[in-house]
Amino acid sequence: MPFLIAKVNVPINLEQEIKLKSRLGKAIELIPGLSEKYLLAGFESDCRFFLRGKKDEAIAYIEVSVFGNENHLGYEDFSAAITKIFVEVLNIPPMNIYIKFSDIAAWSVGGVFFDRR
């Protein structure tokens, strides 16, 4: 299961949240074997961020965690898609969008444990 948590320092209204969720759900398909069906996404708005010593610019910090993709297949295209989505939906400049990818080695959902080993 992939999950994506986006923290931004701008407000997000319901319409924007739905656009983000829908477009990210489609973009996750750029990573082989993934789809919106398995995507857990969350958004935190109005965060306090300082970038280059200032807090007056729109900023996004996005964490993407994926189970079982140690070779990072599709990450480059997915990264470009995430950036485009946040530029178009929230007007955040591309150079102010930071994306962290994490590999999940072990995962549990519904009491079922999954391990890549």
In 3D, which of 39, 84, 40, 78 has the Cα closest to residue 60?
84
For 61-87, the pLDDT digits (tens) are 999 999 988 888 899 999 999 999 999
Domain positions in the chain are: 3-115
pLDDT tens digits for range 23-59: 999 999 999 999 999 899 999 999 999 999 998 999 9
Q: To which residue do tokens 């999950």 refer?
A: 3
pTM of the predicted protein model: 0.93
- What pLDDT score was predicted for residue 89? 98
pLDDT of residue 46: 97
Q: Report the pLDDT averaged over residues 13-32.
A: 97
Q: Which CATH architecture has domain 3-115?
A: 2-Layer Sandwich (3.30)
CA atoms within 13 A on the CB side of 23: 19
Q: Catalogue the E-assigned strands of the chain.
A: 3-8, 40-44, 60-67, 97-104, 106-109, 112-115
